[in-house]
Chain A
């Protein structure tokens, strides 16, 4: 028997039944199939990425990833339940087994990958941290921000990045860190801070909540790399593969020109490029290797769409966020989006 200290005994009592529940289920896929839905951890409301509308329906780029996994597992993209999580709750919720996937604009860093007992299954948005200031402040560059008050969220990489940036440039600053994004926006809007910093996609999404969105400007500096992606628990490679390949399927579909509008036509077409045939399950047994049915990717494309469709629908130029594809274009179009092939 393991030697137990009083401390670990108490901790065991504190962890309680959450730990027991996850210990009994053999694999995440079996557990998900048994309960009949995917439990997906999302943000508490970040327009374009994960946001609930008036009727409680969740939409966004991050939400689409969860829907893709549900489509791959159940053949039904609607079989998802959402857990809105704050930045600091998210990893605990995932490691305790409360959620199956964390798809909440989460930055992939080495610490998180190696120390939290989690695995990042890929990148669905390449972002970078930016800063927003009121135009009235007359600041043109982040290097002029010495002595500024800065509002941000707790429990994110933004706290570390902004600290690093100011230390590197030998500037002083005060950090005011809130638990939820809404309070950050409200405090910045009230004038508590000179600067609001978060990922640039987040700045674009939150800008609409300010009383005068047009009187603020995002500074040109991008002070960090923020590859955002879905996260799963470490130690279940099958589930990890399902999430990773659901994302890869969406990116590959865009590259192969398969979208929700033409995937049905392709299915009944007799002459198909081999790569397309493999993607939509007409050739090979790629789905079965994942523990799913062979039309897994067909279901994703049919019900959720390819990456480009998802992007344009939620964050693209025709949405309030107006984010150009930029680095999130396919590698073949000058971006860095590059998924491993299905073969």
Chain B
């Protein structure tokens, strides 16, 4: 029979068998080293009289957290809220600053990146200066700069800088804006907005088909804008406008300590959050600007020339010829920048913004002392955020990438 009289050496030289053998050896080695590390951790923890476990999550937390989106959403109350709430507050605050940062960084980055390619000398110089300065200074220093420089420039707690008379104002304790108070019927206004967006998509599909068949172009932008604004507004007012606004309240009489913007009226964005948002957006935008510039320059000049030769106008050329081709170069590095921004948000701990690292790995960890569990939980959050971002961007990339036949 085949194989029966084969020697051990020839068995080892068989690529299939050899492959299995070495993979098995590596798997066993990996298992043993992980096992050894885990065993070591457990025995070291046992030596210190500590155990692994997540029961601390149901204990109540005895410390105050500064007012942010997270504390507002979970209605954080000292002595009632648990460490699970603290964890969620950290996640929400990290998420919101990462999301806002990604949006702002994208807008600023694309603007600056296109400005660097502009024919206008002032635009070009300004954007080059911006990119070179911002991307070459460490982010932590920029964070301190925006926090402390801006803090010192603000009016004091008992003064205000009114942006819109009685509606929005600014001082050292934060940016005060009206807060929406939602009553029961508001859900219909919200649903009608979603409906309007869906209708716009359907109309757009019809418009594209009509254009393909007859060559006639519908003014899609104006139609879409009309549907998205008029429908929800109509529903909202027919329903008796079930949305109120709570305006910020400023007092300059009474005891000195109570003067200034009053808590409980309106909405406040604390300066810590504004500084984190600003620093993260501006820093990442510098990198995005270079990515955008690279993407646009990667599109062959012949593409633009061909479009011009066909009589296509410059702005349409940029929108329909250059940008779509540039996008497939831009998207992969852009994804990395989004991931960087999310993870960099953990630097916010330095300036007292209560994100995950600050409230959970800082304050809560010191009270509870479960380093292994809590650092693990925190790593999982960043991993999840990053994988979600990467998944979305990969999906987006697959939509814009070059279709090869």
Residues of A within 8 A of B368 (CB): 115
Residues of B within 8 A of A7 (CB): 52, 376
Find out whether the CB atom of B358 lies under 8 angstroms from the CB atom of A154: yes
8 Å CB interface, A207-244 against B: 233-235
Given known pairs A7-B376, A117-B49, A176-B352, the reply for A88 and B263 (CB within 8 Å) is no
Q: Which residue of B lies closest to A8 (CB)?
A: B38
How many residues does chain A have at the interface if contact means C-beta atoms less than 8 Å apart? Answer: 68
8 Å CB interface, B146-162 against A: 148, 151-152, 156-157
How many residues does chain B have at the interface if contact means C-beta atoms less than 8 Å apart? Answer: 62
Q: Which residue of A lies closest to B255 (CB)?
A: A144
Residues of A within 8 A of B64 (CB): 159, 162-163, 166, 173-175
Find out whether the CB atom of B362 lies under 8 angstroms from the CB atom of A235: no
Residues of B within 8 A of A289 (CB): none
Find out whether the CB atom of A12 lies under 8 angstroms from the CB atom of B38: yes
Bound together, the chains give a CA A179 to CA B376 distance in angstroms of 21
Find out whether the CB atom of A234 lies under 8 angstroms from the CB atom of B49: yes
0/1 string, B49-88, CB within 8 A of A gives 1: 1101000000000111111000000000011000000000
Q: Which residue of B lies closest to A178 (CB)?
A: B352
Given known pairs A23-B40, A147-B263, A178-B352, the reply for A116 and B369 (CB within 8 Å) is yes
Bound together, the chains give a CA A154 to CA B369 distance in angstroms of 14
Is residue B141 contacting chain A, with contact meaning CB distance below 8 A?
no
Residues of A within 8 A of B352 (CB): 151, 154, 176-179, 183, 187
Find out whether the CB atom of A10 lies under 8 angstroms from the CB atom of B263: no
Given known pairs A13-B34, A14-B376, A176-B66, the reply for A22 and B44 (CB within 8 Å) is yes
Given known pairs A15-B37, A187-B352, the reply for A88 and B257 (CB within 8 Å) is no
Shortest C-beta distance, A172 to chain B (Å), equals 7
Bound together, the chains give a CA A92 to CA B45 distance in angstroms of 12
Given known pairs A88-B365, A172-B263, the reply for A11 and B157 (CB within 8 Å) is no
8 Å CB interface, A122-163 against B: 136-139, 144-149, 151, 154-156, 159-160, 162-163
Residues of A within 8 A of B354 (CB): 177
0/1 string, A1-42, CB within 8 A of B gives 1: 110100111111111100110110000000000000000000
Is residue B279 contacting chain A, with contact meaning CB distance below 8 A?
no
Q: Which residue of A lies closest to B149 (CB)?
A: A190
Which has the most chain A C-beta neighbours within 10 Å: B151, B258, B369? B369
Which has the most chain A C-beta neighbours within 10 Å: B48, B64, B79, B172? B64
Is residue B384 contacting chain A, with contact meaning CB distance below 8 A?
no
Q: Which residue of A lies closest to B358 (CB)?
A: A154
Shortest C-beta distance, B248 to chain A (Å), equals 15
Bound together, the chains give a CA A112 to CA B352 distance in angstroms of 24
Q: Which residue of B lies closest to A9 (CB)?
A: B38
Residues of B within 8 A of A149 (CB): 157, 173
Residues of A within 8 A of B358 (CB): 154, 177, 179
Find out whether the CB atom of B43 lies under 8 angstroms from the CB atom of A159: no
Is residue B163 contacting chain A, with contact meaning CB distance below 8 A?
no
Residues of B within 8 A of A91 (CB): 366, 369
Bound together, the chains give a CA A178 to CA B350 distance in angstroms of 6
Bound together, the chains give a CA A23 to CA B366 distance in angstroms of 24
Given known pairs A91-B366, A139-B257, A156-B366, the reply for A176 and B44 (CB within 8 Å) is no
Q: Which residues of B contact A (CB under 8 A)?
A: 34-45, 47-50, 52, 62-67, 78-79, 144, 148, 151-152, 156-157, 172-173, 255-258, 263, 270-272, 349-352, 354, 358-359, 361-363, 365-369, 371-373, 375-376, 379
Q: Which residues of A contact B (CB under 8 A)?
A: 1-2, 4, 7-16, 19-20, 22-23, 87-88, 91-92, 95, 111-112, 115-118, 136-139, 144-149, 151, 154-156, 159-160, 162-164, 166-167, 172-180, 183, 186-187, 190-192, 194, 233-235
Top 8 A-B pairs, shortest CB-CB distance: A117-B48, A12-B38, A12-B37, A116-B369, A155-B366, A175-B64, A154-B362, A12-B41
Subset of 17 A-B contacts with CB under 8 Å: A9-B34, A9-B35, A11-B373, A22-B44, A91-B366, A117-B45, A146-B257, A149-B157, A151-B352, A154-B349, A154-B359, A163-B63, A174-B173, A179-B352, A186-B148, A192-B173, A235-B48
